[in-house]
A = this chain, B = another copy of it.
Amino acid sequence: MPHPRLRARAIVDSPTFQWFIIGVIIVNAVVLGLETSPRLIDAFPWLSALGWLTVAVFVVEISMRIYAHGREFFRDPWSLFDLAVVAVALIPASGTLSVLRVLRVLRVLRLLSAVRSMRRVVAALAATIPGMISIGALLVMLIYVAGVMSTQMFSGTDPEHFGDLPTSLLSMFQVMTGDDWAKVIQPVTDEHPAAWLFFIFYILVSTYIVLNLFIAVAVEALEKQHEEHDDEVVEEVEESELAVLAAIESLRAEVSDLRAELADGGR
């Protein structure tokens, strides 16, 4: 009879168990959605109980996985993520901690760790982030410089959008996203027509940097594809080389035979 830890591992790693947990995560997601409506909570008082039941299932599941995998559990970031979002549900969400109640919906994100193809997608998205850091920093600097300049120049003219630095930074972010930018800058440009130059220069430069941020992500994604295709061609070249070398080697064997025969014949 196997060790109980091995049996626990067989259970938690079985597809049936994992599909069951995915089902519970989805039920939990639906319950969390329904619970946003006070009317539905009143109409279906068992909703809350169902919510707590799913949490109980999660607690049992996590406990079993800790028991089954031991230390390895704590080395896998996805397991720690699961542990964290379940633990949030157990903190008494009253008084100053009531903000944590909002975080309970993060349990929906357990789908990311539970479904294998979602893990791959998240890992792929995360892998493109390092390539964006330098351009992202450039963008942050641009917004900061433009925010300080616009506060210095326009805080008197249009306090609603450029009254202080945080407000200016948010206005500059809004202009960068292209949302209603003409309306944001209108109070300023009505008074200082030359301010158009400042804003249009900012729009062109920020759009250009954002574009390059996007292209950096796309190039990263294409890099992997390129490598695979290159590997195919390189493999073909190597195979071709081996075939040619084999043919030359067999020809050399023939010449060697000839040489040996001549040496024999000469004797």
Which of A42-50, A56-64, A74-82, A180-188 is found at the contact surface with chain B?
Answer: A180-188
The reply to whether A118 and B105 form a contact with Cβ atoms under 8 Å apart is no
The reply to whether B240 and A243 form a contact with Cβ atoms under 8 Å apart is no
If A118-B137, A182-B180, A258-B259 touch, whether A252 touches B250 (CB-CB below 8 Å) is yes
- The reply on A227 being an interface residue by CB < 8 A is yes
Contact partner of A255 (CB less than 8 A), chosen from B170, B238, B254, is B254
Q: Which of A139-164 contact B (CB under 8 A)?
A: 141, 144-145, 147-149, 151-153, 155, 164
The reply to whether A37 and B164 form a contact with Cβ atoms under 8 Å apart is yes
Q: Which of A193-237 contact B (CB under 8 A)?
A: 193, 196, 200, 203, 208-209, 211-212, 214-219, 221-223, 225-227, 229-230, 232-234, 236-237
Shortest distance between the CB of A72 and any CB in chain B (Å)? 26
The reply to whether A225 and B226 form a contact with Cβ atoms under 8 Å apart is yes
The reply to whether A32 and B247 form a contact with Cβ atoms under 8 Å apart is no
The contact size tier of chain A is 35 or more
If A170-B196, A225-B219 touch, whether A251 touches B255 (CB-CB below 8 Å) is yes
- The reply on A36 being an interface residue by CB < 8 A is yes
- The reply on A108 being an interface residue by CB < 8 A is yes
Complex Cα distance, B180 from A177, in Å, reads 10
- The reply on A261 being an interface residue by CB < 8 A is yes
> Which of A37, A106, A121 gathers most chain B CB within 10 Å?
A121
The reply to whether A164 and B36 form a contact with Cβ atoms under 8 Å apart is yes
Complex Cα distance, B177 from A181, in Å, reads 10
Complex Cα distance, B262 from A263, in Å, reads 9
Complex Cα distance, B238 from A144, in Å, reads 51
A147 CB contacts on chain B under 8 angstroms: 33
Beyond known contacts A215-B217, A237-B240, A261-B263: 9 more, CB 8 A cutoff: A121-B138, A179-B181, A180-B183, A218-B219, A226-B226, A226-B229, A243-B245, A247-B248, A265-B266
CB<8 Å pairs between A and B, sample of 6: A108-B141, A170-B196, A179-B180, A226-B226, A244-B245, A254-B259
